Amino acid sequence: MNGLLYNHVLSEARHPDLYVDIRGQFVRIRTSCLYPDSDYVYVYCYNLDTIERITLTDLGNSFQYVREIPSRSDDIQTISSTVRKAFDVSIDRGVLTTHRRIDEALPTAIYRLAAASVFIAHISLADMQNA
């Protein structure tokens, strides 16, 4: 299924700033977005049932920055709530996940998740500097 998903993502995610490859069970997409430490933001794709129902995730990479701030669960809950609402993503145990909306182009969904990842990282670092 990875080959089929890879070809599907490659054909739909035609964008000069996206680089697509296969990593294990995921199709990995490098975006042009950067984390505060200048690492690229990667979005990973997989599908649960059909090729049209693509799930996008960050595999928990953005929450590595949250783990570095002093443990303040109220701050983490606030960050999570803000991100869920602003970027239409779900968060489960520090992993961001979203699905492409029916009327949404795949690159738009990819960048929506990437933007959520960057937002979490920047807010977390700002909290750490203010602690």
Instruction: Say how far apart CA 23 and CA 125 lie, in whole Å.
Output: 28
Share in percent of the chain as helix, strand, coil (round to 5): 40, 25, 30
14 is written with which tokens?
């035609």
**Cross-strand bridge partners of residue 120:** none
pTM, two decimal places = 0.85
DSSP class of 39: P
Please name the residue ranges forming H helices in the chain: 2-12, 63-66, 73-87, 106-130
Average pLDDT for residues 61-66, to the nearest whole number?
Answer: 82
Residue 75 in contact with residue 69, Cβ under 8 Å?
Answer: yes
User: Given this model, what pLDDT does residue 128 score?
Assistant: 57
Q: State which fold the 2-130 domain adopts.
A: Yope Regulator; Chain: A, (3.30.1460)
Instruction: Say how far apart CA 46 and CA 22 lie, in whole Å.
Output: 11
Q: pLDDT tens for residues 21-39?
A: 888 888 899 999 999 889 9
